[in-house]
Amino acid sequence: MGKKNVLLPLLLLSSVIIHAQKLLVTGKVSDESGTVLAGVNVVVAGKNGGTSTNAEGRYSIEVNSGSDSLIFTHTSFTPTTIAVASRTEIDVILSGKNTVLDQVVVVGYGTQRRRDVTGSVVSIKPADLENMPNVNIVQSLQGKLAGVSIVNTGTSAEGSTRLRVRAQNSISADAGPLIILDGIQYEGFLSEINPNDIESIEVLKDASSAAIYGARAAGGVLLITTKKGKAGKTSITLSTTWGISRIINRPDMMDGTQFYNFKEARLGASSFEADQFAEGINTDWLSLAIRNGLSREHNLAVSGGTEKTKYYISGSASIVDGVAKNDNFKRYNVRFNLDTKITEWLTYGTNTLLGYNDRPGVSANISNATRMNPLTEAYDANGNIALQPNPDDMGVSNPLEGLNIQREDVARSLNTINYFQVKFPFLKGLSFKTITGYNFRSRLIESYESSTATLAGRSRGGIATVNNQYRQDWSIENILNYTKKIDRHNIDLTAVYTSREAVTKFHDNTGVGFIGDYMSYYQFRLATTLTPGDTYEKQTALSQLFRLNYNYDSRYLFTFSVRRDGFSAFGANNKYGVFPSLALGWNLEKEAFMDATSGWLDRAKLRLSYGENGNQAISAYATMPTMSPDYYLDNNNNTLVGFYPNKLADPTLGWETTRQINIGLDFAVLNNRITGSVDYFSANTFDLLLNKNIPQINGVGSIRQNTGKTKSNGLEISISTLNLQKDDFTWRTDLNFSHNRNRIVNVGLFDSKGMALDNLGNRWFIGQPINVIYAYTFDGIWQESDNILNSHMPEARPGDVRIKDVNGDGRITVADMSVIGRADPKYTVGMMNTFTYKNFALSFFINAVKGVTRYTEYMNTYFDGKNNIRQREWWTPENQLSTYPANRDNSNPFGVNYYGKPNDASYIRLNDLSLSYKLSQNVVSRLKMDRVEFFANVKNLLTITNFVGLDPEYSSDFGIPQIRTFQFGFRAAL
């Protein structure tokens, strides 16, 4: 009884203590203007359930402990987390969410609120893509921006891409966008910029937005802004990513037995092949050339500062081993960004990047490995790489011989951008800013092929090469800006004077014929033959710009700009070009007549713009005559050198110019749950920079001139939706669609009546897209039941490829070749879905391409008896197929590579699947950190396509097939 008398009071006391730990918290929620907010979700962090505010904006919720935190969320306001700290009354003020139309975007020589932008500008924050890491930042943008086309042009360790904004306008000049890094033109490799250092990326798509950069802006402009420090405590962030890659779409080539039987039936096998077949030799060359790729990336950043001085310092290391053996890439970066307010009117800043990139060794040749005769062997009896694996063809080298080459490839770079900004105290709103940019890059490539390492090295007694590449460019931008607000009138004037110089040098030496291999590429003085080479280029540019931005109450918007560019590479008569632009905008939701839509329409802006852009993508001395050396023997058999003209001068060569009109609509509806934009553009490009054929009596066969014209148009749609937000669960979707097309109007060739003519030699056809597939049309296989003798192919035999008589003249000639496909897609779609539940986030990205044809040697039926080809079922008298011809050397005399329908490379691809988890705030706080997050990612998980080949996205004949990459990592901040 004594024990019971003691336990009973203890139990009662425990109940009181437990009950005392629970708190009832009440309060009111309002916005920044003091208006109470109904329908605000209130939950306890890390707990299920919750409540919401009533019509008076009040709430009440029970928490288990005074150390809990409350999370307040609403679709129109920024989520807010507040620690209870044992309080029972907590009033909360929510800040308005920075909606898409309220965001500040970089527009060139300044920033604007998106609601005040009159041009077509798309932007993305790399932080939104941090769970989908890539070595190259451009790869992360693929399919995520309407009107921006990104194609992976290979799967090397470094990551190679082709970037294009809208439809291609230029036929032969560079069609890529101008890259602006922190306000200065950037000519380096995007793969050398650490994606973790990037704060934002904007793409200026229409000519009005891009016209501010005049020259070279015909292909659009890509603006990259790197991170800056923020006032407050020092922040340290750390991230690490590991990945593994492997090939998932191996080519279906013949094995040893299939190859032997096929060749024996078609051409007859050699004695060497018969012996190898008898011994059971079946070399899987592709497996010998590939491996599982590995990647490691580590990033560390420190940022912070005071109200006067802010800094951002980062370092990164990225090490990638590609799927081809010995394909390696290492990137090391150090960045230092500083902004300091020296006085009330003077500010200084610097953005400096130091880079070191290493591409050691020579990788195995996967393309050649795919096509190697499987009856040959990769290694000799001593286990060394066989330099001549096929005695029937002594000129065939081993695809693995690159592994024997000694090679160092190191690039060092310095990119520094510095500025001084003066705000004049005597006139409010007037400022002057000088930006200087300097970029230096050197690359040293040294290699040696010993007499026992490669076939070429053996035949030439060793080959040593040294290539030294050197480039530096500097820019000076002087920017005068004046802003003035008069009642509801807002004026922004900008004047710019800029100059730029770029110098490129190449020095290389090749030495052959050495007495030994022990000194590698350090023995040029011992070479039997030494061949030096040097190249020097210098370009200068000078520009002036004026821009006026005006808006009335952010309702009526007006932008005008004009830029004058001078470029040294153009002819003496055309060095300068003038590029104007004009744009109008109208924020409809501010009009009284739109009040009836206020319940569902949040934003609606109409845009109309016109602009002109130039393209200066030619070499430094394109307008000047050049000579080439030629060697000959005199009467005494002495070798002499002479020179002959290889290019004529053209002092009239000038700018390739694009004129573009853009009509757009930006919108937000249903309390900003749905936002988006729609753009339609039409462009004309004239004075194309083309090589025009001229009579050989001039000493050369062509000359570059301004001639020709193209047209392009397109439709672009971007939509972002908040599909569901309930308690701890959120589902968002970002969707973009692009339909772009171009066509050739003329290429400077006309008949006697002035009608534009095709250029067959270059595959340029009037009224057709710039990049087309021009070939014979496959019309099936001739069968034994066909009346071949009375057909348009009377010399054909059953089992031969049947060609369509396109022009109906009863025979097959080159006149029957026609455009059977286009190399650029008609439609592209990208869709990102993101789901968040408490501390978990799941996202997947799908991109799709429609209306594109790819050429690939993978479909070729030609067989030379040396290279392997794709395994397929052939026509036989017993099995009269209509797909592939008979197994004989002349069954496809016109070399058709498209069987049935042209090789449609349309596809739907699940490009990225990512899952992440953030540690709860309670755990992170105990760790004395601000954030800890773990993530996993899979790339190229699924592709749906009818394409016959290695990869519908990019067909490089027998290049590297598709790869799938698995990544995982973590991020932490303190």
**Residue % of the chain over a pLDDT of 70:** 94
User: Each residue of 277-309: pLDDT tens digit?
Assistant: 999 999 999 999 999 999 999 999 999 999 899
Residues 67 and 191 in one domain: no
Residues 220 and 109 in one domain: yes
pLDDT, mean of residues 455-473: 93
* 330 vs 173, residue with greater confidence: 330
The CATH number of the domain holding residue 66 is: 2.60.40.1120
For residue 713, the model assigns a pLDDT of 95
Residue 594 domain-assigned? no
Element (H, E) at 6: helix 2-21
CA distance 333 to 315: 6
Residues 417 and 184 sit within 8 Å (Cβ to Cβ) = yes
Rounded to a whole number of angstroms, the CA Rg of the chain reads: 33
Structural domain including 64 reads 20-94
Residue 807 domain-assigned? yes
User: Each residue of 419-433: pLDDT tens digit?
Assistant: 999 988 788 899 999
Nearest to 835 by CA among 827, 823, 845, 849: 845
CA distance 776 to 250: 28
By the 10 Å C-beta count (0-12 exposed, 13-18 middle, 19+ buried), 287 is classed as exposed
Residues 250 and 261 sit within 8 Å (Cβ to Cβ) = no
* 591 vs 701, residue with greater confidence: 591
What confidence tier does 958 reach under pLDDT thresholds 50, 70, 90?
Answer: low
Nearest to 883 by CA among 780, 961, 813: 780
CA distance 352 to 73: 39
Residues 47 and 153 in one domain: no
For residue 507, the model assigns a pLDDT of 94
Residue 159 one-letter amino acid: G
For residue 653, the model assigns a pLDDT of 85
pLDDT, mean of residues 715-721: 95
User: Each residue of 190-226: pLDDT tens digit?
Assistant: 878 888 899 888 899 988 888 888 777 888 898 999 9
Residues 111 and 221 in one domain: yes
Residue count (the chain): 974
Residue 616 domain-assigned? no
| pLDDT reading at 674 higher than 70 | yes
Q: Count CA within 13 A, CB hemisphere, residue 471.
A: 16
**Whole-Å CA distances, 490 to 40, 544, 618:** 35, 24, 41
Residue 334 domain-assigned? no
What confidence tier does 856 reach under pLDDT thresholds 50, 70, 90?
Answer: confident
Residues 41 and 128 in one domain: no
Angle between helices 271-278 and 256-266 (to 10 degrees): 150
For residue 143, the model assigns a pLDDT of 80
| pLDDT reading at 125 higher than 90 | no
pLDDT, mean of residues 423-450: 92
| pLDDT reading at 560 higher than 90 | yes
The CATH number of the domain holding residue 147 is: 2.170.130.10
For residue 913, the model assigns a pLDDT of 94
pLDDT, mean of residues 719-739: 92
| pLDDT reading at 497 higher than 90 | yes
Residue 386 domain-assigned? no
For residue 604, the model assigns a pLDDT of 93
| pLDDT reading at 342 higher than 70 | yes
Residues 217 and 181 in one domain: yes
For residue 101, the model assigns a pLDDT of 53
- Number of domains forming the structure of the chain: 3
| pLDDT reading at 52 higher than 60 | yes
**Whole-Å CA distances, 860 to 139, 374, 894, 895:** 31, 18, 11, 7
What confidence tier does 677 reach under pLDDT thresholds 50, 70, 90?
Answer: very high
Range from 78-87, 691-700, 791-800, 815-824 carrying the lowest mean pLDDT: 691-700
Residues 162 and 107 in one domain: yes
| pLDDT reading at 102 higher than 70 | no
Residue 605 domain-assigned? no
Residues 45 and 142 in one domain: no
Residue 675 domain-assigned? no
Domain boundary among 94, 121, 152: 94
Residue 410 one-letter amino acid: V
Domain boundary among 236, 262, 293: 236
Residues 49 and 154 in one domain: no
Residues 232 and 156 in one domain: yes
For residue 574, the model assigns a pLDDT of 85
Q: What is the DSSP string of 781-810?
A: E--TTS--TTSS-TT--TTSEEE--TT-SS
pLDDT, mean of residues 490-516: 93
What confidence tier does 957 reach under pLDDT thresholds 50, 70, 90?
Answer: low
Domain boundary among 214, 236, 258: 236
Residue 704 domain-assigned? no
What confidence tier does 881 reach under pLDDT thresholds 50, 70, 90?
Answer: confident
User: Each residue of 626-666: pLDDT tens digit?
Assistant: 888 787 778 887 778 888 888 787 888 888 899 999 999 99
For residue 13, the model assigns a pLDDT of 39
User: Each residue of 505-532: pLDDT tens digit?
Assistant: 999 999 999 988 888 889 898 999 888 8
**Whole-Å CA distances, 35 to 57, 60, 78, 79, 669:** 9, 19, 16, 17, 21
Residues 109 and 64 in one domain: no
| pLDDT reading at 688 higher than 70 | yes
For residue 144, the model assigns a pLDDT of 85
Residues 108 and 232 in one domain: yes
User: Each residue of 595-620: pLDDT tens digit?
Assistant: 888 889 999 999 999 999 888 777 88
Average pLDDT, the chain: 87
* 312 vs 124, residue with greater confidence: 312
